[in-house]
Amino acid sequence: MSFKDPRLFQIALLGCLLGLGAFFRDFAIRPEQIALAIVSALATQALFIHQLKLKGSINYLSALITAFSLSLLLRADSNWVHPMAACAAIAAKFVIRTGQKHVFNPGNLGVVLALLFLPGSWTSSGQWGQDIAIAAWVFMLGTLVTTKARRGDISWAFLGFFLGIVALRVMILGQKPAVFLHQLTNGSLLLFAFFMISDPMTIPNHPRGRILYAFLVAVLAAVWQYGLFRTNGLIWALFLCSPLVPLIDRWLPAGRYKWIPTGGSNATSHPETVAVDRYRRCVIGAAAPGS
Amino acid sequence: MLLIVIGAASSGLLLQVPDAEAFCGFYVARADVKLYNKSSQVAVVRHDNKTVMSMLNDFEGEMKDFALVVPVPVVLEEGQIHVADKALFEHLDAFSAPRLVEYHDPDPCRVYEAESWGMAKSAAPPMAGALRDERSRALGVTVEAQYTVGEYDIVILSATESGGLETWLIESGYRVPAGARRALQPYIRQGLKFFVARVNLKEQAATGLSWLRPLQFAFESPRFMLPIRLGMANSQGAQDLIVYLMTREGRVETTNYRTIKIPSDVEIPEFALTEFADVYRALFERALAKEGGRAVFTEYAWNMGWCDPCASDPLSSAELRELGVFWLDEANDTRGGAVPVQLTRLHVRYTAETFPEDLVFQETGDRENFQGRYIVRHPWKGEAGECSAARDYFRNLRARQDREAETLAGLTGWDLADIRRKMKLGSRPKSDSWWRKLWGNGG
């Protein structure tokens, strides 16, 4: 494990936010739900690592991030929703793949699956409140992570597009600027921008592709929220746009992201990718992806 | 001359203390809507994009001065509008209001027998011209429909710009507050219609009632929200709004503001029995201040079929259907078991600054029960010398009363010394000394 891995920072920051939220923001999340989410995510990851004969403990970091993300986003009135969502989210990472990447952001997929199929689950997007201090903290901490992960452009692009649409709507409707400020300081929007859409493994590789993707997610989220009057616009928009990433990657090819820069090694030699592709060919029977 | 009122209302300060009712302890008082100076109540029934909204304004002026303007997503037909019984709101309020309960400490010298549980028993509540078309067109206002329903004359308007609508209202005899134009504009631009109601004095006289009954309307729309911004145009200062939401699956919360539970299940000093109105008001104000005035409070979230303790009987199937619970089968009896109706009571105190947007709701999958409940425990009236257990009891009692004083000070922000004085606690008791229990000489 290397301390250069930005996921370590992300885990620390998500852990802090979870603690802050649970203690000071009256989150309806129980410690046992967090514990079960973590255990389930790690166990699922271990199962696939064992099955695919992958090496290295580093793979567990992503699973931990998924468990934390689910704990931050998902609420349930029972204890079995979080572990089931975590298991499905991690499993999908190994099963639903195109080329060398998994298609869905695991945290995002886990929330969507829970909302669709698990009764007694919901999300509390308003629960972060409009506390400007918290917003500033998320903002700064998120910058740290995205800078470390070197794909922060998507966070800024997304915020720019989404807040641009919100500002436009406020102007067209003749609402007061306070409405825009109310949206700007929304903790869950900033969390989404810095900790979910910024996941370098599920976004386009090419910088221009990422800007395009941020635009599409922002527009769909705004339509979902303001046109269709549905809840969880950000979550659904990211989920529905995810299948576009392989298309954007094909159109605008670029090198795949690696958590730890390794100098000479190229993307296709990543052990997880090679093993997963072997798994897909042998176990699932899917066609081998083109290289 | 009419006044646009939405959300604004006034009422006296009063605490209702009905007869004590049995449960595990006794229900003694509730912090109901009468506690607040300017308050309004809205009941929202919602399932599958179908909404039934009932609005009760505690309007105390001249009937002829009353007018209500509510943005609605569709043009309502006459059959979609209804006038309900005010008693429905009184029952909803009584059923879901934060409650004070009392316990009597048992005699520590006696082996106590199993406590009996009883269901609350309370009495069932009583059940509660012509328009100038051309001028309207010139102003960009279309009168989509007009009806007289109960004691109300209702007009459904659509408008193309807020100035025209404001002028139309003024020319039609409504007294429009300053700032209304700006408040109307976002709704017009979202393509919403306006439901405008005023009192038909002749019809009102025929009802023989001295108050206005709640207006109800049913519509289908994906929007699950409550327009509160319009009411701010004519209000000074903060307004209290109690929203009762009846849904099928779970608790309702707001998606664009924090929704938090009011502090609950705490033991507070005995004197709260006579001052519960002040206690709850201070408690609410302090909880709101902690959130910078920007939170919505859940005061009650429970299945409609039962309660514990019951501040009032659950609403009957007939009452629920009257409120608009359309999915409830006539055969469903709501008493004595869970019914497919979850009731959420939200309390919002809003100002123009703290709530810049209308309330947007979502139904969650949360069926966990919650109520604002405050507990008073009456000490046992015996003597310390009666038995050794009694000595321990009184020692623990002092510690408990200290805790109760601190709890109340923390919840309300009241001065701890004042609270202790009211409780006649004096200075901290010596029985706290750590060595008293050491060699059994703690008497």
Which residue from A164, A157, A163, A139 is spatially nearest to A204, judged by alpha carbons?
A157
* A26, A111, A228: best to mutate for the B interface, most B CBs within 10 A: A26
Q: Do B365 and A178 touch (CB under 8 A)?
A: no
Asked if the interface predicted TM-score (ipTM) of this complex is over 0.85, the answer is no
Task: Tell if the CB–CB gap between B365 and A127 is shorter than 8 Å.
Answer: no
Q: Per mean pLDDT, which range of A38-52, B13-27, B100-114, B336-350 is the poorest?
A: B13-27
**What is the CB neighbour count within 10 angstroms for residue B150?**
21
Separation in Å, CA of B196 to nearest CA in chain A:
21
Specify the pLDDT at position A287.
Answer: 36
The Cα–Cα gap between B86 and A248 comes to 59
CB atoms within 10 A of CB B328: 21
Check pLDDT > 60 for residue A278.
no
**Which pLDDT value is given to residue A286?**
38
The residue whose two tokens read 């998924």 is A66
- Determine whether the interchain pair B253/A75 forms a contact, defined as Cβ–Cβ distance below 8 Å: no
- What are the helix (H) ranges across chain A? 6-24, 31-52, 60-73, 81-95, 106-117, 132-149, 153-173, 177-184, 187-191, 207-222, 233-241, 244-251, 271-279
- DSSP type of residue A193: I
Which tokens in the block code for residue B263? 């502090």
The arithmetic mean of pLDDT across residues A30-57, rounded, is 84
Residue B245 pLDDT exceeds 90: yes
**Which has the higher per-residue pLDDT, A279 or A13?**
A13
Whether residue A142 contacts residue A266, with contact meaning beta carbons closer than 8 Å, is answered with no
What integer is the mean pLDDT of A246-273? 63
CA distances for B192 relative to B119, B161, B254, angstroms: 46, 12, 21
Check residues B139 and A151 and name the one with the higher pLDDT.
B139
On the question of pLDDT at A266 being above 60, the answer is: no
**Cα B119 to the chain's mean position, in Å?**
23
At residue A76, the 3 state secondary structure works out as: strand
A227 touches chain B (CB under 8 A): no
Give pLDDT, residue B281: 94
**Shortest CA distance to A89 belongs to which of A108, A115, A62?**
A108
| Yes or no, beta carbons of A179 and B357 under 8 Å apart | yes
End-to-end CA distance of chain B: 75
DSSP letter for B384, please: G
Q: Which of B222, B260, B295 sits opposite A230 (nearest CB)?
A: B222
Interhelix angle A60-73/A81-95, rounded to 10 degrees, is: 140
- Specify the pairing of strand A74-76 against strand A121-123: antiparallel
What is the CB neighbour count within 10 angstroms for residue B22? 15
User: Using CA atoms, how far apart are residues B213 and B299, in angstroms rounded to an integer?
Assistant: 25
Does B367 contact A at CB distance below 8 Å?
A: yes
Rg (CA), chain B: 25
For residue B161, give the 3-state DSSP assignment: coil
Give percent above pLDDT 70 in chain B.
82
At residue B105, the pLDDT reads: 86
Span between the terminal Cα atoms of chain A, in Å: 28
* Residue B17 pLDDT exceeds 90: no
Q: Which residues of A touch B185 (CB under 8 A)?
A: 173-174
CA distance A287 to A63: 26
pLDDT at position A31 over 90: no
Q: pTM of the prediction?
A: 0.84
Selected residue of A29, A168, A173 to mutate for chain B interface (largest B Cβ count, 10 A): A173
| Chain A closest-CA separation from residue B364 CA (Å) | 5
Q: Is the peptide bond before B309 cis (omega within 30 degrees of 0)?
A: yes
Evaluate whether B185 touches B162 at the Cβ level (below 8 Å): yes
User: Do residues B272 and B317 make contact, with C-beta atoms less than 8 angstroms apart?
Assistant: no
Does B293 or B31 have the greater pLDDT score? B293
**Rounded Cα–Cα distance for residues B190 and B329 (Å):** 36
Compute the distance between CA of residue B241 and CA of residue B228 in angstroms, rounded to an integer: 9
Using CB atoms within 10 Å of the CB of residue B435, give its burial: 0 to 12 exposed, 13 to 18 middle, 19+ buried. exposed
Does B186 sit within 8 Å of A175, measured CB to CB? yes
Residue in B69, B55, B54 with CA at minimum distance from that of residue B196: B69
